[in-house]
């Protein structure tokens, strides 16, 4: 099974592809501008351009220099190979999300019980960094990943910490994909994602084990629902 990480541009590509296939945009329709799409998907303009170029390459879009982007009059049906590749990667992500839900829900609860003031301070600094780089997609992504790993460290369970470290690469890839899917679910800005992370932090700060675990579970479950919707359209 193909388990390579799914880039933000690929999520945009598949989202646009699904909308065209579903008839949201019909043959001859002009797509919103790069700036408008970047705002809609909460990604950088280069990500949108990469996604549009990918759809142009498979014959779904006509990009006219200075004239906008249009749905081709005869948009091709996706090949079975392309569909299988997307479904394989989505299935891999679903499996990782199931593991993350178990590990991170427990980590958040344990962090609320065992976290030190130093670890709480580190989490707070990461949230501040997320606040400072709301318009910087790459920096925000790195802070997001760090926040989740710091929670695992704050659980102060060496077995759990070793387990998370052993899965670090797969978890990193999943968090990157999770961030992209979260934006598509919310259709809002990075401020909303920051608020959700802050609510998890506040439960850990208050030593509320139940709420810390619940809020983390809800955070991951939201992405699972979106992934299910995307793969069962």
* 129-140 pLDDT per residue, tens: 998 887 776 788
**Cβ–Cβ < 8 Å for 27, 74:** yes
Indicate the pTM of the whole model.
0.64
Task: Identify the pLDDT of residue 66.
Answer: 77
Q: Which domains does the chain have, with CATH numbers?
A: 8-71 (1.10.10.10), 80-231 (1.20.120.530)
- Mean pLDDT confidence for 144-169: 88
* 188-223 pLDDT per residue, tens: 557 778 898 999 999 999 999 999 999 999 988 887
How many whole angstroms separate alpha carbon 41 and alpha carbon 13? 11
* 1-30 pLDDT per residue, tens: 344 445 677 788 888 887 787 777 888 889
**What are 20's two structure tokens?**
């065209």
Q: Which of 143, 206, 141, 132 is nearest to 178 (CA)?
A: 141
CA distances from 189 to 6, 133, 193, 231 (A): 21, 12, 7, 24
Task: Identify the pLDDT of residue 210.
Answer: 97
Q: Which of 176, 7, 208 is nearest to 100 (CA)?
A: 176
Pick from 37-46, 143-152, 158-167, 223-232 the range whose average pLDDT is largest.
Answer: 143-152
């Amino acid at each position: 099974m193909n388990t390579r990480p799914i880039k933000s541009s690929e999520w945009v590509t598949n989202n646009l592809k699904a909308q065209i296939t579903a008839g949201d945009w019909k043959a001859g329709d002009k797509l919103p501008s790069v700036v408008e799409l970047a705002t809609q998907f909460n990604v950088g303009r280069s990500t949108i351009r990469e996604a549009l170029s990918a759809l142009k390459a498979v014959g779904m879009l006509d990009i006219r220099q200075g004239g906008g982007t249009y749905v081709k009059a005869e948009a091709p049906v996706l090949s079975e190979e392309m569909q299988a590749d997307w479904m394989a990667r989505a299935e891999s992500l679903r499996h990782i999300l199931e593991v993350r839900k178990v590990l991170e829900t427990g980590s958040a609860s344990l962090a609320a019980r065992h976290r030190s003031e130093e670890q709480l301070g580190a989490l707070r600094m990461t949230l501040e960094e997320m606040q400072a780089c709301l318009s910087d997609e790459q920096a925000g992504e790195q802070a997001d990943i760090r926040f989740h790993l710091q929670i695992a460290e704050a659980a102060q369970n060496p077995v759990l910490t070793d387990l998370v470290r052993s899965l670090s690469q797969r978890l990193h890839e999943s968090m990157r994909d999770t961030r992209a899917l979260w934006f598509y679910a919310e259709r809002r800005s990075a401020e909303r994602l920051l608020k959700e992370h802050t609510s998890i932090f506040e439960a850990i700060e208050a030593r509320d084990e139940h709420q810390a675990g619940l809020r983390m579970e809800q955070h991951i479950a939201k992405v699972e629902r979106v992934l299910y919707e995307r793969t069962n359209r």
